A and B are shown apart, each in its own frame.
Chain A
Amino acid sequence: MPVATISNLTVKYGRKTAVEDLTVDVPDGCIGLLGPNGAGKTTLIKTLLGFLKPARGGGELLGLNVASEGLRIRQRIGLMPEIDCHIPGMNAVTFVAYAGELSGMPRSQAMRRAHETLEYCGLGEARYRNVETYSTGMKQKVKLAQAMVHGPKLLFLDEPTNGLDPAGRDEMLELIRDISHAKGVNVIVSSHLLPDIERTCDHVIVMRHGRIATEGEVAALRKTKGVQMDVELRFPQEIEAFVKSMVLRQAELVSTSGTRCRVSLMENGADPGSVLFDAARESGAQIRGFQSAQRSLEDVFLEAVE
Chain B
Amino acid sequence: MSEEVIRPPESAPTGQSPIADFTYRTYDGPLYTRRIRWWIVALAGIRLSMKKKGFWVLAGLAVLPYVITVVQLYLQSRASTLTGGQTPNPLNMPLPGQQYSSQFFQAFVFQAFFLFILTLLAGTGTIASDNQANALQVYLSKPITKGDYLAGKMMGVAIVIFAVAFVPALSLYAYCLLSFVNEGFFKNEPWLIVRIIAACSVPALVFSALIVGFSAWSKTPRMAGAIFAGFYFMSGIVAGIYWGVRYRGNLGQGNLERHFSVDGVIQGLVQNAYGVTQRMMTGNPRTGALEQVSMPPPNAWVMLALGLGLVALGLMAARARIRAVEVVRG
Contacts and interface: CB of A to CB of B under 8 A. Distances in A.
Q: B-side binding surface: helix, strand, loop or mixed? A: loop
Contact of B142 (A85, A99, A124): A99
B238 interface: no
Contacts of A117: 24
A45 interface: yes
B75 interface: no
B143 A102 contact: yes
Contacts of B41: 102
B129 A88 contact: yes
A265 interface: no
Contacts of B17: 112, 116
Interface in B20-36: 21-34
Contacts of A86: 133-135, 138
Contacts of A183: 24-26
A249 B133 CA distance: 64
B328 A45 contact: yes
Contacts of A88: 125, 129-130, 132-133, 135
Contacts of A106: 29-30, 32
B182 interface: no
B66 to A, nearest CB: 30
Contacts of A84: 133-134
Contacts of B134: 81, 83-86
B327 A116 contact: no
Contact of B329 (A72, A82, A87): A82
B185 interface: no
A44 to B, nearest CB: 9
B139 interface: yes
B112 interface: no
Interface string A72-105: 1011001101111111111000000011011111
Given A75-B143, A79-B141, A85-B133, A42 B31 contact: no
Given A87-B133, A119-B22, A183-B24, A104 B330 contact: no
Contacts of A128: none
B144 interface: yes
A124 B24 CA distance: 13
A81 B141 contact: yes
B19 to A, nearest CB: 9
A102 B28 contact: no
Which interface class (under 10, 10 to 19, 20 to 34, 35 or more) fits B? 35 or more
Contacts of B141: 49, 74, 78-79, 81, 147
A216 interface: no
Given A46-B327, A85-B137, A150 B31 contact: yes
A37 B324 CA distance: 20
Interface residues of A, number: 59
A10 interface: no
Given A86-B138, A88-B132, A98 B24 contact: no
B29 A105 contact: yes
A109 B29 contact: yes
A203 B143 CA distance: 28
Interface in B96-155: 125, 129-130, 132-145
Interface string B267-307: 00000000000000000000000000000000000000000
Nearest to B329: A82
A72 B3 CA distance: 11
Nearest to B327: A45
Contacts of B21: 116
A90 B24 CA distance: 23
Contacts of B33: 71-72, 75, 104
Contacts of A185: 26
Contacts of B329: 42, 82-83, 159
A103 B25 CA distance: 17
29 contacts: A36-B330, A37-B330, A41-B330, A42-B328, A42-B330, A45-B327, A46-B325, A51-B324, A78-B141, A81-B137, A81-B326, A82-B327, A83-B134, A86-B135, A87-B133, A87-B135, A88-B129, A88-B132, A88-B133, A102-B41, A102-B143, A103-B143, A104-B34, A105-B29, A106-B32, A116-B24, A146-B138, A148-B24, A150-B27
